[in-house]
A and B are shown apart, each in its own frame.
Chain A
Amino acid sequence: MALSIVHRATGIALYFGTLLLAWWLIAAATGPTAYANVQAFTGSFIGRLIVFGYTWSLMHHLLSGIRHLVWDLGYGFKANEREALTWGAAVGGISLTILLWIIAYAIGGGR
């Protein structure tokens, strides 16, 4: 499976994605205008796309990382177990991302 490189790629995406998180926190600490700028960006089409990509990267890296922790402990090395862990991380990452965005729209849209 080619998911080893996806784990690394999502890690690199998250690395630069923390800039967005830091910007958001600093804006919250700065004032209403700075915070409105962040919201205008994250609310735009390209902003939503980036945050959606960040969410997927985080969920995939999380599950793929748990898979690596299982391997570190010495389990899950049989062929069918490897496949199950890998597919679980791939499908689970996409599912969790969609689930989180449905919850986010339900909560955020309600305010």
Chain B
Amino acid sequence: MSGQNSPGAKSMRTPLSRVRSLGASHSGTSDFWRQRMTAVAMVLLMVPVIVVVMMLLGRNQAGAAQILGSAPIAIILLLFIVASTWHMKIGMQVVIEDYVHSETVKLACVMANNFFCIAVALASVYAILKLSSGV
């Protein structure tokens, strides 16, 4: 991605060393790290999220909206939404890279995966912010 790694730039590095360890996604180990970081975040958030869901069981919309609109609960859910959609974006990309071997189809699947995860994330974040602002 960076300039010094582009093929045209003057570099002492061999072509092999430039591509080594970049993997099927051409992005190196950053996804590996983010997958673990979001996993640990969700391990920490799991108990609070389960408590929130239990609080909402059996309530009508007015009761649910009141609970979801409170600051600590909204923040817990926002953190969980960001961690989970990011985690599932990386996870599904790994599955795609494992099973889809045509480069064109793979790119289309990776793109659709990104669209899906970003749409789910923003729709959920929008709902939480709407409930928190009370409009």
Instruction: Identify which of residues 116-135 in chain B touch chain A, using a CB-to-CB cut-off of 8 Å.
Output: 120, 123-124, 126-128, 130-131
User: Number of A residues whose C-beta is below 8 Å from B?
Assistant: 32
- The answer to whether B124 touches A104, judged by C-beta atoms less than 8 angstroms apart, is no
Any B CB within 8 A of the CB of A45: no
Min CB–CB distance A13 → chain B (angstroms):
11
At the interface with chain A, which of B1-9, B15-23, B84-92? B84-92
Nearest residue (CB) in A for B77 is A25
B39 close to chain A: CB less than 8 A: yes
Q: Are A25 and B128 in contact (CB under 8 A)?
A: yes
**Complex interface residues of chain B between 43 and 64 (CB less than 8 A to chain A):** 43, 46, 50, 54, 57-62, 64
B interface, over-half SS: helix
Quick one: CB contact mask for A44-72 with B, threshold 8 Å, 1 for yes? 00000000000000000010011001001
Chain A residue nearest to B68 in the complex (CB): A28
B88 with A18: CB separation less than 8 A: yes
Contact of B57 with A72 in the complex, beta carbons under 8 Å: no
Structural contact, A22 and B58, CB atoms closer than 8 A: no
Can you offer 13 A-B residue contacts whose CB atoms are under 8 A? A11-B88, A18-B88, A18-B120, A22-B124, A25-B77, A26-B123, A28-B64, A28-B68, A32-B60, A36-B61, A62-B46, A69-B39, A69-B40
Which residues of B come within 8 Å of A, CB atoms?
Answer: 36, 39-40, 42-43, 46, 50, 54, 57-62, 64-65, 68, 77, 84-85, 88, 91-92, 95, 120, 123-124, 126-128, 130-131
Q: Write the residues of chain A forming the contact surface with B, with a CB cutoff of 8 angstroms.
A: 8, 11-12, 14-15, 18-19, 21-22, 25-29, 31-32, 34-36, 62, 65-66, 69, 72, 100, 103-104, 107-111
Other contacts beyond A11-B95, A22-B123, A29-B128: 7, CB < 8 A:
A11-B88, A18-B88, A28-B65, A62-B42, A66-B43, A69-B43, A111-B58
